[in-house]
Structure 1
Amino acid sequence: MASTLVLSAVVVSGVGWFLLQQTRDGLLENRVDAVVAEADNESAEAVERLVAVPGTETDASTQASELATPIIARGETRGFDVVLGGPGSNEDGLAGAGSIYTPGLDTSSVPQSLLDHFATSADTAWTYSAIRTVDERGQVTSSAPGIVVGSQVRLPSDGRAWTMYFLFPLEEEQDTLALVTRALLTAGGLLLVLVAGLTWLVTRQVVTPIRMARRVAERLAAGRLQERMRVSGEDDLARLALSFNQMASNLQRQIRQLEELSRVQRRFVSDVSHELRTPLTTVRMAGDVLHDARGDFDPVTARAAELLQTELDRFETLLVDLLEISRFDAGAAVLDLDDVNLVDVAHRVVDRNRALAEQRGVTLTVSAPPHPCLAEADVRRVERIVRNLVTNAIDHAGPPERGRSRVVVHVAGDDHSAAVAVRDYGIGLAPGESALVFNRFWRADPARARTSGGTGLGLSISLEDTHLHGGWLQAWGRVDEGAQFRVTLPRRAGSPLRHSPLPLVPTDARERLAEATP
């Protein structure tokens, strides 16, 4: 509406200005023709009177007075002023050349350009000027635009040329132009109001369905999948509403199908996990008996008992992870909050996994400040997050012969958040894999063996634990440069996170080194 009103105002102003110019030019043109014709008539009448003057008259001043007096009298009745200037008026001015003029007229109303014209030419001429009147003391009392027409006559008494100036005011034309201006302003204002009303009406007809579609889309986004738009008519907006409703119906149907499928999957995982507890307990008891008695078996049977015990441990771990995932899916996971020192957590996790790291030839170190890094969190879940990150880094650490078999655990904190970052220098992550690494059972290298006995659910569980704390779990990696996983937790539960005290991209990464190089 604003743009339409601005454009309409510009157009109306342009058209109004053009009409005013045309009206003014037409009024002035008609007025000029009329006053020139009237001046010519007065001049012709004056010439006829001069022709009838007896040749015995020799007083030029008297003859000029007799010539000008009746013209001045007619001018007072017809609304124009007269100035009769004698010879030399162009040099000395009308005031000092024995001029005869209408009483109260300021002779300087005749412009100098017109005086200069009659110094070299006897042709009738006219020009625009300001007609001023004066009082007895010579003070200007009023000024109005007008037209000055000049023509020359010769007096028989001295045979010299005298110039008659007729001053016609333009007050009527000025009033007419003012009336036209007011009419145009009034019409322009009414037209703008009409345009504004029409624009508002059309805009409302167009915008109202769009606003309805926006509100319905917001309700759909909020989960109210039954919302629909009203369809009325057969125009484009009605077809848009119909298409929108069809799209919403398709989305509702697909979302419900996905929700049902997800619910079936979660129920299946939960039921299978619980149902496997009893047979696993039985198999575990039998396996423990066989494992304890393996010394009495032959070597092949003893080795089989050891493998059975190892796989039972892994199976039990997988079952525990599946039960934990089912709790997250069911929304039954809760936090047991306490003030947790992430520095102590990092040292405990590193000490517990040092044997696994030495078995792989990996060096485990902790880089932490001397002071505590506290966060209000569930210590069991935080330790599980860090343990999963550390064991994952050990699994993917580089080979010892290349000098990259090390894992560094960084810990830092500030007034608002605390973070733990696990850096390895192994195979790294390809572009796009940092977004997939937290998917359930996803592996960067499917052919790679799991030496830590992982189930493929560790990072997924860590991500759910982090989200449960209102924190971030992010991954960075480059091929042959290693990877870094960073978990960031708020210092106070429920506080929003805005930044992390540790960078996601390691300071020893090539891209960071390239940025630091001038």
Structure 2
Amino acid sequence: MSATGPAPTDGAATHALRRARAVVGWPARSLVRLWRVSLQARVVLGTVAVGAVVLSLTAWLLLAQINQNLVDRKVDTSIAEARAGLADAQFQLDAAPEPTTGAGGLLQPLVEGLAGDTGSPRAYELVLAGPLSAAESSAGIGRASASLSDESVPEVLRTQVSDSSSGPYWTFTTIEFTGDADPRPDVAGVVVGDKLQVPGTNEEYALYYLFPLDDQQSALADVRRAVLTASAVLMALLGGIAWLVARQVVTPVRFARRIAERLAAGRLEERMHVRGDDDIARLGRSFNQMATSLQRQIRQLEELSRLQQRFVSDVSHELRTPLTTVRMAADVLHDARGQLDGATSRSAELLQGELDRFEALLAELLEISRFDAGAAQLELTDVDLVEVAERQLATQGLRAAQAGITMRLRVHTRPALTEADPRRIERIVRNLVSNAVAHSGSDRIELLVDADDEAAAIAVRDHGVGLRIGESALVFNRFWRADPARARTGGGTGLGLAIATEDAQLHGGWLQAWGEPGHGTQFRLTLPRRAGDDLRRSPLPLVPDDLAGVVGQPYRRLPVPPPDSPEPATGEAESSRGLR
């Protein structure tokens, strides 16, 4: 029990410490967040901070100057009053008869008389010390208040008065009171002292006037409170003014931001409300002019796009009827080509081939028009990319073998399932493989398949002519052709990769290309495992592992083993590294 007893206490203390940190840190975090997200808050807080520094310095200088003036004035009046009192005391001593009972009997009534002239409460205290020639000269023999401490007169001033005759002398001190009879607190003050000559005895005494500075301290406290109150009011006014000024500037900016967000969302008719002729108003008018110009250009582009889509759709549909008629006539000629002469038979074969190509072009144009019209729909089911790749190897393997091309499938993850439209995925992969067979000029083609928890990917890699710099972005444009690859057995329509890109985007996937002249190309299709998920990475590299260090790529060239060397055991796993 003793070993486990402190645990709840430690846990409670830790919990309390965390709560205290959370309570203390919440205002700081809120202030930092407000500073980061609000321009108006930054202006107000910055203005208040600068104003606080300026007002603090001004208040400090003002209070220091007032304090110095009050003290200097008190010192001057104290010296003047003490000088007059000392002269009066010396006059009374000179006019008094020679004492018969000693100087004490003459001086004590003198001190009491001088102190009685100050009224109540007393404007000053008196201390009489002497005779100065005696050993006990430092002790006071007379004082206005019995509770006044001898320590109220500094030793430095006592020595100065005793050793010099050109007084009076003064210094600052702390007037102290002792005993329970006088509850007055200690107070700062000014002490002024000089010698008194007792006639007939030639004895010298020191008379000290102690002037308290409590009135000056009270006045300075009142001034300090007034300055602090005025500073607080000024800070509030400064913050309010800064808030109003910043609001006049920030409000149109915030309104412009909201209008810009609405414009970006497609609400092109939104405009700013403009009032006045100042800089903000001119900014609003310029913003509205820009929005109007953008709206006009976007409307024009939309209209041109609609006209283009309508033209393609109308032409494609209108061509179907005459194309069907021409196809029927061409089929008759093609079937009867054995009965025709050589030139006519060859013409029938050429006509049949061109009609096949024309029908393919027309079908692709119709498919493009459906994409442009937003009418393309997905029929989702589970698709295994490994099976898709195997079917393409089976269907196009003979054509590749006739062209002297070796095809190989490398699977890293089986099965590589994804939720997709099987018809469209088959069309994408078929287009990539047929392009590699027909136009790459490569003697070997590889299909790579891999998958992880979030995505599945298939890549088609060839080792042919490759792509020049910048062509990897152009290859998906409509009707774009890479000239070096089109001068072989025939050309496509130029729409296959454009349709493949639309199919990939319809699934929320990526279709990307990489190529280097003389090093071949690689096309990679990446699809989310679940329809609607966002892609963040691909399980296959876009740049092939064996060429990750070619010129123009930010990778070190890796050593390539000779063709007859065995593949490393980790070769399949290593192929997933590289650019994602």
TM-score, normalized by the shorter chain, greater than 0.5: yes
Q: Contact 2:152–2:176 at 8 Å: present in 1 too?
A: yes
Displacement of 1:25 after TM fit? 1.3
Q: Distance in 2 between matches of 1:191 and 1:474?
A: 64
Which of 13, 20, 25 pairs up with 2:56? 13
Displacement of 1:289 after TM fit? 2.9
Displacement of 1:332 after TM fit? 1.0
Displacement of 1:99 after TM fit? 6.0
The answer to which of 250-259 and 103-112 deviates more is 103-112
Displacement of 1:37 after TM fit? 1.1
Question: 2:578 matched to which residue of 1?
Answer: none
Displacement of 1:497 after TM fit? 2.1
What do residues 391-421 of structure 1 show as CA deviations (whole Å, max 9, x unaligned)?
Answer: 333455355xxxxx43322211112211112
Question: 1:467 matched to which residue of 2?
Answer: 505
Q: Are residues 492 and 62 of structure 1, via their aligned partners in 2, closer, same or farther at CA, if it must alter by over 3 Å? A: same
The answer to which of 445-454 and 259-268 deviates more is 445-454
- SS of the equivalent of 1:497 reads coil
Which of 220, 242, 265 pairs up with 2:308? 265
Q: Distance in 2 between matches of 1:398 and 1:125?
A: 113
What do residues 25-68 of structure 1 show as CA deviations (whole Å, max 9, x unaligned)?
Answer: 11111111111111111122222233334456683444543443
Question: 1:328 matched to which residue of 2?
Answer: 371
Which of 114, 117, 135 pairs up with 1:71? 114
Displacement of 1:204 after TM fit? 2.5
Question: 2:243 matched to which residue of 1?
Answer: 200
Question: 2:398 matched to which residue of 1?
Answer: 355
Instruction: State yes or no: 1:225 paired with 2:268.
Output: yes
Which of 444, 450, 457 pairs up with 2:495? 457
Q: Contact 1:397–1:407 at 8 Å: present in 2 too?
A: no
Question: 1:41 matched to which residue of 2?
Answer: 84
Q: Distance in 2 between matches of 1:90 and 1:456?
A: 126
Question: 1:106 matched to which residue of 2?
Answer: 149
What do residues 483-506 of structure 1 show as CA deviations (whole Å, max 9, x unaligned)?
Answer: 332221111111222222223333
What do residues 278-321 of structure 1 show as CA deviations (whole Å, max 9, x unaligned)?
Answer: 22222222333333333444444433333322222221111111
What do residues 312-368 of structure 1 show as CA deviations (whole Å, max 9, x unaligned)?
Answer: 222111111111101101111111111100111112123322234334443322211
Question: 2:556 matched to which residue of 1?
Answer: 514
AA aligned to 2:128 is L
Displacement of 1:79 after TM fit? 1.9
Q: Are residues 3 and 89 of structure 1, via their aligned partners in 2, closer, same or farther at CA, if it must alter by over 3 Å? A: farther
- SS of the equivalent of 2:191 reads strand
Q: Distance in 1 between matches of 2:249 and 2:74?
A: 53
Displacement of 1:73 after TM fit? 3.1
Q: Distance in 2 between matches of 1:125 and 1:118?
A: 7
Q: Distance in 2 between matches of 1:65 and 1:199?
A: 68
Question: 2:445 matched to which residue of 1?
Answer: 407
Which of 377, 381, 386 pairs up with 2:424? 381
Q: Contact 1:57–1:157 at 8 Å: present in 2 too?
A: no
- SS of the equivalent of 1:225 reads coil
Q: Contact 2:327–2:355 at 8 Å: present in 1 too?
A: yes
The answer to which of 153-162 and 210-219 deviates more is 153-162
Q: Are residues 335 and 21 of structure 1, via their aligned partners in 2, closer, same or farther at CA, if it must alter by over 3 Å? A: same
Q: Contact 1:58–1:157 at 8 Å: present in 2 too?
A: no
Displacement of 1:208 after TM fit? 2.4
Displacement of 1:128 after TM fit? 2.4
Q: Are residues 59 and 224 of structure 1, via their aligned partners in 2, closer, same or farther at CA, if it must alter by over 3 Å? A: same
Q: Are residues 28 and 480 of structure 1, via their aligned partners in 2, closer, same or farther at CA, if it must alter by over 3 Å? A: farther
Question: 2:279 matched to which residue of 1?
Answer: 236
Q: Are residues 447 and 61 of structure 1, via their aligned partners in 2, closer, same or farther at CA, if it must alter by over 3 Å? A: same
Question: 1:487 matched to which residue of 2?
Answer: 525
Q: RMSD in angstroms over aligned alpha carbons?
A: 2.9
Structure 2: unaligned runs, 5 residues or longer: 1-43, 560-580
Q: Distance in 1 between matches of 2:285 and 2:397?
A: 64
Aligned residues: 510
- SS of the equivalent of 1:133 reads coil
Q: Contact 2:439–2:488 at 8 Å: present in 1 too?
A: no
Structure 1: unaligned runs, 5 residues or longer: 400-404
AA aligned to 1:131 is I
